[in-house]
Structure 1
């Protein structure tokens, strides 16, 4: 991987690593577009007020200002870099609703910034890839099911280990908490969200100390969070806890629909995990988190959920459901564990060698013919000995070197050398084609990616 940069938390890639990242991005774009999602891009900055509308994450937001501030600048005018793509997308939908066709299906791949403590899997500047479906006033629940299936397909195309999409429903959780007498459901969810970090015993203490739960209520909340199934049998297990609530029933039915269809189409890749809470307050129904099997300590690589009122204008709301892939987190793990690598570090397939400095223009003619047919080509800058020009191609990772000369009758002749095998053959720049696997730099998966 690229060496540690001078600014911690702002990753940079070497050329061969960037090829791996581009492969991931291109694969995601292809899958998203196959499912009819349109690409958009939103601005990098939002007003502070807009960013902090939902959720308490102000400590992680990077403010943006000129080095010399205006004397009359105010908090309301302050700008900040977006910390995710969902909040800016909600604003985008409201401002452009008259130009969009609903339900609106969008994908968005952009940089985001978050002031976290840098560590593996957590950077201050990173790339996310989001898909969302947003409705005008209402949005069919079926989209919650569809987005889970789309994301499973998208992740399955990447050079990563097996993964599990863990799904829960906040209606289910909130209804259960209300049913046992815990009225501050968001506070309970925030504590349950810490389970994997601090353990059940500490979460139980927190529920009692900060939320006001009795030991019995804390035990009930933890019993719910302990339920995990790969099918819809979680419904029966929740019922066995003996809690009744209408919102609980609604959440159970919705989660059963997601898990039932997803487990049928992608068995083993979906789990109903009733400990999943998601920290952001704008989620209202289905919530998703995704972990790589054997790499659970990396955290979620893809998460999201249903939101009913994040995008709103007056009495008009635009409910949506979306999922976000942490592309930089995934790519960092792919590279650090050698799960995939680029076939070469440059796009060039051919280096056109020079016989002498006077042949540079003719070499450019050859390169032009090759490029016209989609073959990435470089031309040597100086007429060094052929051995040095070949070694230059080797260092660059260019597989073929092109040689041109003039026959006795004055006609040009051409040969191309595969410097890996040493084979050199006659070639015509108007028709020669490299093997398909050498035409572009490709990404090669490791023999196994589950270590």
Structure 2
């Protein structure tokens, strides 16, 4: 990932880097499916009006002018590439509601495009892995708890450093702000969301300048945001402020339920952090952000929350809760920090060598036997010296080289050489298998 991209913000991976990325994707798919989630895919292009339904965004969207000229496109519809998967998914739910069973549990792994200033972890073309549960008119709160646990399960299986899934509840925050006399709760949340970027002093000044907050209100809002806990003790700290509000009570109860269950099943992984605000207006309850411990400057690698009416037909609403994992951001850090590496950069476990060019057809017979049992292999293209063929396998990371020969009676013989140990043994192409660990490329912990 240290290589300079020829087109800034649009990363390309070498084969060995792609092995690591595929490992991350496979782990996420496997984990999500273990929890009963189905895979969907939405189109890459949306109308700009659709993309902006959740409010104006602070990132550039990439318009698609060529499609705009297509005669099948309505001239009034301006089109752009989607910048996340949440808004397209909301449209997908509304348009396909009659074909879906609710609660609808889906995961979605796709590329998105966004006008970013390219840097590590932030690209203009990037892959996201989203997981959401959507209900029809209502959705039990327990899915807010379950989503946190599923994401912890998925991230724990990846070759990444220790992480913290930080959780808050916007009802708690909004109720508190109302209780201290700040009526523009969305404005306060947007300011609090900047704490990590500009610090408490600057946020306090924003609250005064833009929302007319008093020194006492600023102090109370910042004190609330300073509360963190790995258990439900955060609730006592909030109550100690003496602020009364019905929405605050609801938020406290919901966040307590998340942390209480998470502290049992994922101790130390999920923490209450009342500074988490998530600036997007469509979040209505639980909000999540995830950071890698020691790599906080990378930003959140997984975030999301509860939304009550992002998906709506006007007559019917589809509330949901979901999280999005920044796959490209995660993979960039895994590669740049050598946190994981592949055992080889190609799928092939075996190179079938050629004794002479006339043996090519017989070598293909061997390859056919191996592939029929799921063993990836290659056949040499020409009959170079065995030393050159072995060096070719070594450069590609192929662990085994297969040799065909002839015995005194004219029968074909088969031997396999493990080029790492030098061991060479006679084998039968219809029954031989490599050790399980060599069957496919694996991703292992990187070097210290």
The bucket for the TM-score relative to the shorter chain is: over 0.9
Partner secondary structure for residue 120 of structure 2: coil
Q: Given the alignment of the two structures, is residue 395 of structure 1 paired with residue 395 of structure 2, yes or no?
A: yes
Mapped contact 2:312–2:318 kept (Cα < 8 A):
yes
Deviation at 1:435, TM superposition (A): 0.9
Taking the aligned partners of 2:73 and 2:101, their CA distance within structure 1 comes to: 38
Q: Map 1:239-250 to 2 at 5 A.
A: 239-250=239-250
Alignment match, 2:346: 346
C-alpha contact 2:16 2:344 (8 A) present in aligned 1: yes
After superposing on structure 2, the runs of 4+ consecutive aligned residues of structure 1 that deviate more than 2 Å are 67-76
Deviations 1:117-165 (A, max 9, x none): 1111111111111110000000000100010011111110000111111
CA contact (8 A) 1:176 1:248 kept: yes
SS for the counterpart of 2:54 is coil
Matched with 2:95 is: 95
CA distance in 1, matches of 2:2, 2:301: 21
Instruction: Quote the residue 1:133 is aligned against.
Output: 133
SS at match of 1:53: helix
Secondary structure class of the residue paired with 1:49: helix
2:213 counterpart residue number: 213
Instruction: Tell me, yes or no, if the aligned pair for 2:59 and 2:114 is still in contact at 8 Å.
Output: no
Do 1:2 and 1:12's aligned partners in 2 also have CA atoms closer than 8 Å?
no
User: For 1:309, what is the secondary structure of its paired residue?
Assistant: strand
* Residue matched to 1:359: 359
Equivalent residues of 1:52, 1:58 under 8 A apart: no
- Give the aligned partner of residue 18 of structure 1: 18
Report Cα offsets for 1:314-363 as digits up to 9, x if no partner: 22000000011001100110111111000001000000111111111111
Q: Which consecutive residues of structure 2, in runs of 5 or more, have no partner in the other structure?
A: none
Q: Which residue of 2 aligns with 1:172?
A: 172
User: What SS does the corresponding residue of 2:196 show, helix, strand or coil?
Assistant: helix
Q: Is the 8 A contact 2:302 2:324 kept in 1?
A: yes
SS in 2 for 1:310: strand
Given that 2:180 and 2:217 are in contact with CA atoms closer than 8 Å, whether structure 1 keeps it comes out as yes
Query: How many corresponding residue pairs?
Result: 448
Is this contact kept in 1: 2:67–2:79, CA < 8 A? no
1:433 maps to 433
Name 1:61's counterpart in structure 2.
61
TM-score, normalised to structure 1, is: 0.97
Tell me the SS of whatever aligns to 2:394. helix
1:366-407 superposed Cα distances (whole Å, 9 cap, x missing partner): 111111111101000011111111111111111111000122
- Whether the aligned pair in 1 keeps the contact of 2:193 and 2:275 (CA below 8 Å) is yes
Contact 2:68 2:78 in 1 (8 A): no
Q: Kindly indicate whether the alpha-carbon contact (under 8 Å) linking 2:341 and 2:445 is maintained by their aligned counterparts in 1.
A: yes
Summarize the Cα distance change of 1:70–1:330 in structure 2 as closer, same or farther, 3 Å threshold: closer
Distance in structure 1 (CA, Å) of the matches to 2:26 and 2:73: 42
- Deviation for aligned residue 1:408: 2.3
Q: How far apart are residue 58 of structure 1 and its match?
A: 5.7
Q: CA deviation at 1:24?
A: 0.6
Using the alignment, how far apart are the partners of 2:117 and 2:407 within structure 1? 66
Name the CA shift for 1:74/1:117 in 2 (closer, same or farther; >3 Å).
Answer: farther
The CA deviation at 1:60 is 2.2
Residue 6 (structure 1) aligns with = 6
Q: CA RMSD of the aligned region, Å?
A: 1.6
**Aligned residue runs from structure 1 range 207-286, under 5 A:** 207-286=207-286
- 1:113-132 equivalence runs, <5 A: 113-132=113-132
Residue aligned with 1:280, SS: coil
- Can you give the 5+ residue segments of structure 1 that lack an aligned partner in the other structure? none
CA distance in 2, matches of 1:118, 1:218: 34
Q: In the alignment, is residue 149 of structure 1 matched against residue 149 of structure 2?
A: yes
Paired with 2:166 and 2:437, the residues of 1 have a C-alpha distance of 37
Shift of 1:219: 1.4
Match of 1:186 in 2: 186
Superposed CA offset, 1:11-70 (max 9, x none): 111101101111111011111001000000000111000000113216421111119957
Partners of 2:344 and 2:169 lie apart in 1 by: 45
**Residue 280 (structure 1) shift:** 1.3
| CA distance 1:68–1:34, change in 2 (3 Å) | closer
C-alpha separation in 2, matches of 1:193 and 1:373: 54
